[in-house]
Amino acid sequence: MAVDSPVKDLASIYRSQFSVFEHVTYVNSCSQGALADSVKASFDSYISTLELQGSAWGDWAGYQETMRALFAKFFEVPTAEIAVTTSASAGVSAVASALDFTKGRNKIITTENEFPTIGQTWHAQELRGAVVHHIPSNADLTVNVAAMIDAIDDQTLIVSITHGCYHNGAVTELEPIIEAAHKKGALVLVDAYQTAGAVPLNLSTLKADFVVGGTLKYLLGVPGVGFLYARSETTSHLIPTSTGWFAARDIFAMEIHSYDPAKEARRFESGTPAIPSLYPSSTGLSMVIDIGIENIYAYVSQIHDALRTGIESLGGVVITPKNKANHGAMLAVASLDENAHVAALESEKIVTSSRGGNIRVSPHFYNNFEDVEKIVAAFAKTSQYLRK
């Protein structure tokens, strides 16, 4: 979808649907997207199936497929290449279980910017013969793309890289890494949890082999729903050993004497889905699709620029790279005491979060420039915590 010109004021259109702003200034979308009225109402839709039908497997299974179709539409890929998981962790673990580290390739290359799920899952594979290499970051906290490419060799089985870092907001240029890995016969897994719904990501052109994420952040959903994209061309031969009955070729065959996984990406799914979470998550993702990711990115980029200018005017240090190519969905502001700083901002009715010594300020399309003024004013009042 092409972005409108001039950039649409999305907050003026959609903000009224998010009641949290009646109480606080919410800029913590990197932890949990704000609750839209329509998303809230979708919980009632699920509850009504329990009240009216008791057990409504037809409706519930239908929402699983609705979710799959929405992910496919959003990422511009076939539904057969989407697994609906309960979390990014579940998706990565299923992928790891399909890899064999005993046949000449046992090397995993990853970064220093990964979420704990990624690092812990790959290091758990050391019990199965894997050797994990972490590539040090550049001085500006971005991933050292050249060093990653140099590290990929004939023993590399998979390269695992975050698109957007959860603690500093740095975005990685993925294409050169993917190209280099494929030239060496290695797979690539991308963690897109901190960018999906905020930064454009067309998986039909990216050519990553696996991409994981979830709905509770910029896709406006709730915990319990994630996605795993598995590119058919390069991953169809991989069969997970971490599985469950929803990964079977015929779910309702109820087979207990054999393992007959689905041929499509659904084979990476597991047991009964988090059905209550499917309803609100499908509603939230539908809203993001309707608004358009290019429109969201263009609008929120202006909010980011204004926030950066205001915080730096106070002497604050925004450690997130300024370069647009490496700037993601949030700003990380250096703090002397991140926990006390978050609490002090909350006392000013500014909701943020912290990781790695930084305050995370993560606006979305529902934030406006009045929010920027309030946030900068709150940082001014709490400037004793700014690490300058």
CATH number at residue 108: 3.40.640.10
Same domain, 81 and 226: yes
Same domain, 80 and 132: yes
Q: Is 317 exposed, middle or buried (0-12, 13-18, 19+ CB in 10 A)?
A: middle
Which residue in 377, 263, 387, 365 sits closest to 27, CA to CA? 365
Q: Answer yes or no: is 5 within a domain.
A: no
In the chain, the percentage of residues whose pLDDT exceeds 90 is 90
* pLDDT tens-digit series, residues 327-369: 889 999 999 999 999 999 999 999 999 999 999 999 999 999 9
pTM, 2 dp = 0.95
Same domain, 315 and 177: no
- Dmax over CA atoms of the chain, in Å, equals 67
CATH number at residue 364: 3.90.1150.10
* pLDDT tens-digit series, residues 174-187: 999 999 999 999 99
CB 139 within 8 A of CB 167: no
Q: How many separate domains does the chain show?
A: 2
Q: How far apart are CA 334 and CA 316, in angstroms?
A: 7
Same domain, 151 and 203: yes
* pLDDT tens-digit series, residues 261-281: 999 999 999 999 999 999 999
Q: Answer yes or no: is 14 within a domain.
A: yes
Q: Report the chain's mean pLDDT, rounded to a whole number.
A: 95
Same domain, 160 and 258: yes
Residue 123 clears pLDDT 60, i.e. is over it: yes
Indicate the helix (H) or strand (E) that contains 348.
none
pLDDT band at 2 (very low <50, low <70, confident <90, very high): very low
Same domain, 70 and 205: yes
Whole-number pLDDT of residue 5: 57
Which residue range forms the structural domain that includes residue 61?
A: 40-288
N- to C-terminal Cα distance for the chain?
40
Q: Which two tokens mark 175?
A: 């294409």
Same domain, 151 and 268: yes
Q: How far apart are CA 189 and CA 212, in angstroms?
A: 8
Q: Is the dihedral of CA 8, 374, 193, 322 positive or negative?
A: positive
* pLDDT tens-digit series, residues 288-317: 999 999 999 999 999 999 999 999 999 999
SS3 of residue 270 by DSSP: coil
Residues in the chain: 388
